Amino acid sequence: MKKSLLGLALAALGTTALMNSNPVNAAENDFDALPDAVQAYIFGYPLVTMEMTRRVMTNVETAAGTRAPMGHFARIRAYPTAEFKDVTAPNADTLYTTAWVDVSEEPWVLSLPDADGRYYLFPMLDGWTNVFQVPGKRTTGTAKQTYAITGPGWTGTLPPGVEEYKSPTSIVWLLGRIYCTGTPEDYAAVHKLQDEVSIVPLSAYGKPYTPPAGKVDATIDMKTAVREQVNAMSTDEYFTLLAKLMVDNPAAGDDKPMLEKMAKMGFVVGQPFDSSKLDAASQAALAKVPELANEHIMGHMQGGIAVGDMKLENGWGFTVKTGLYGTNYLQRAFITAIGLGANRPQDAVYPTSEGPSPGASYSGDKNYVMRFEKGALPPVNGFWSLTMYDEDYFFVANPINRQSISARQNLKPNPDGSVSLYIQNASPGADKESNWLPAPKGKFILMLRMYWPKDTPPSIIDGSWVIPPVEVVE
């Protein structure tokens, strides 16, 4: 049975034999632990990635741009320009207000101002990337509100008017988004809200408080992309870091079967992982775990073909399985790899299209139209937008400085009440420019953002609303 399990696992991963050892001999040692090791890697991928992301984003003395020390807010003041290359797939709809906190020692108190009806959300991610709470217009309204984020083992009394949000882990990432139209007047209004958002340790709540400056760790790699840093870890390095992180960021109760598998391969929470204690065949096999696991993670959607929890409609790929993952470890790892910080689908869905059909790409040497039937614009309670990216997921410079198009452009309907969006490099003409999304001359990618999608038909969540295709104009 063990040899069969190994064969099935390797076949599922699309690999060939990892070594030239005799299969019978392999079955007699720990080589048959490889499938469990690959599953364990996928299981731990979000926690390891979150930690490496936290290190990079907080390794500064003071807040600047997208980075801020632990316990400080990073407040993004404007939408990125076409020259911005720090983060892929930026947005031009919401301004981010983000912070990392460690609630292992004491709770942290988040204070949100009265937003006067403005759309915003402040999802809270635990170390495993689950969105465990989402204060904001959809869930808690826009009045002034205060929350204490408490750690897994905390017990105590909170001040009056402070509601407890218990985090399953010590690592917490606050990923606030506030809607903004991008005009100078609206920028000023959102900046005021951003400045009124605060986070303080419980011991400092209600008292004057200045967060201490951050301490820069020169050993942290601030240049290499986080995903590349994680992928480059050896099996021993990866599982040793995972074991350390799980001391303060425990697995959920439903993860017990996975923890039992990990224990059989020698994984112990809080202790280094050392494969050198195994025989040579097992060491050689385990050395392949990062490569195999990452191949499996990224294979969750390949070549524009939807698999697993991914859907493909009219050239648009998307999922409504984000934010809360349960024991769906592969989906959780995949979303971590391609969209760390993803919201629950009730808050946002992000259909993306690299071409009008699988295997095809959009190109600026052609003109395209995306037509919504009368009354069939994206069904949302929040807002929607269609964003243009180049083939590397960055904004595109264009003569009207429009990176995305949405209802705030005062879209002009067709005579029959339908709405057509013109996606092309050159202007479609003055009478259609209100509906024009400028494209580059080369390849490009489209992303449809749907914030607070409707949960009753027509709805993208239940499949009763289908995204229309982007078609070439002949």
The domains of the chain, with CATH numbers, are 2-50+225-298 (1.10.3360), 61-204 (2.60.40.1610), 302-472 (2.60.120.600)
Secondary structure percentages of the chain, helix, strand, coil, to 5: 30, 25, 50
The continuous run of DSSP H or E covering 121 comes out as strand 120-121
**Structure confidence at residue 19 (pLDDT):** 29
Measure the CA angle with vertex 106, ends 104 and 111; round to 5°: 115
pLDDT greater than 50 at residue 28: no
**Structure confidence at residue 278 (pLDDT):** 82
The predicted model scores a pTM of: 0.89
Which of 350, 302, 303, 293 is CA-nearest to residue 323?
A: 350
Which residue, chain included where needed, has tokens 């992982």?
273
Q: What are the C-alpha distances in Å from 133 to residues 140, 150, 385? A: 10, 12, 25
**Structure confidence at residue 279 (pLDDT):** 83
pLDDT band at 87 (very low <50, low <70, confident <90, very high): confident
Mean pLDDT, the chain, integer: 90
Per residue in 178-187, pLDDT (tens digit) is 999 999 999 9
pLDDT greater than 70 at residue 308: no
DSSP string computed for 137-155: TTTT-SS-EEEEEE-TT--
pLDDT greater than 60 at residue 355: yes
pLDDT band at 9 (very low <50, low <70, confident <90, very high): very low
**Structure confidence at residue 25 (pLDDT):** 34
Mean local confidence (pLDDT), 69-90? 90
**Structure confidence at residue 4 (pLDDT):** 24
Mean local confidence (pLDDT), 147-173? 97
**Structure confidence at residue 234 (pLDDT):** 97
**Structure confidence at residue 1 (pLDDT):** 28
Per residue in 283-296, pLDDT (tens digit) is 899 999 999 999 99
Q: How far apart are the first and last CA of the chain?
A: 58
**Structure confidence at residue 301 (pLDDT):** 62
Number of CB atoms found within 10 A of residue 413's CB? 13
**Structure confidence at residue 463 (pLDDT):** 95
**Structure confidence at residue 5 (pLDDT):** 24
Mean local confidence (pLDDT), 77-94? 87
**Structure confidence at residue 85 (pLDDT):** 78
Burial of 224 (0-12, 13-18, 19+ CB in 10 A): exposed
Which residue, chain included where needed, has tokens 């191949």?
295
Residues ≥6 apart with Cβ < 8 Å to 243: 267, 268, 269, 270, 271, 272, 273
Burial of 86 (0-12, 13-18, 19+ CB in 10 A): exposed
pLDDT band at 281 (very low <50, low <70, confident <90, very high): confident
Mean local confidence (pLDDT), 119-124? 98
**Structure confidence at residue 23 (pLDDT):** 30
Number of CB atoms found within 10 A of residue 106's CB? 16
**Structure confidence at residue 127 (pLDDT):** 98
Q: 3-state SS of 51-71?
A: HHHHHHHHCCCCCECCECCCC
**Structure confidence at residue 277 (pLDDT):** 83
Residues ≥6 apart with Cβ < 8 Å to 111: 144, 145, 146, 196, 197, 198, 199, 200
pLDDT band at 14 (very low <50, low <70, confident <90, very high): very low
pLDDT greater than 90 at residue 104: yes
Per residue in 407-456, pLDDT (tens digit) is 999 999 999 999 999 999 999 999 999 999 999 999 999 999 999 999 99
Q: How many CA atoms lie within 13 A of 100 on its CB side?
A: 22
Mean local confidence (pLDDT), 225-231? 93
pLDDT greater than 80 at residue 343: yes
DSSP string computed for 378-391: --EEEEEEEEEEET
b/e 41-64 (16+ beta carbons within 10 angstroms → b): bbbbbbbbbbbbbbbbbbbbeebe
- Pairwise pLDDT comparison (380 vs 474), residue with the higher score: 380
pLDDT greater than 90 at residue 306: no
pLDDT band at 93 (very low <50, low <70, confident <90, very high): very high
Per residue in 245-263, pLDDT (tens digit) is 999 999 999 999 999 999 9
Supply the Cα-derived Rg of the chain in whole angstroms.
24
b/e 192-222 (16+ beta carbons within 10 angstroms → b): ebbeebbbbbbeebeeeeebeebeeeeeeee
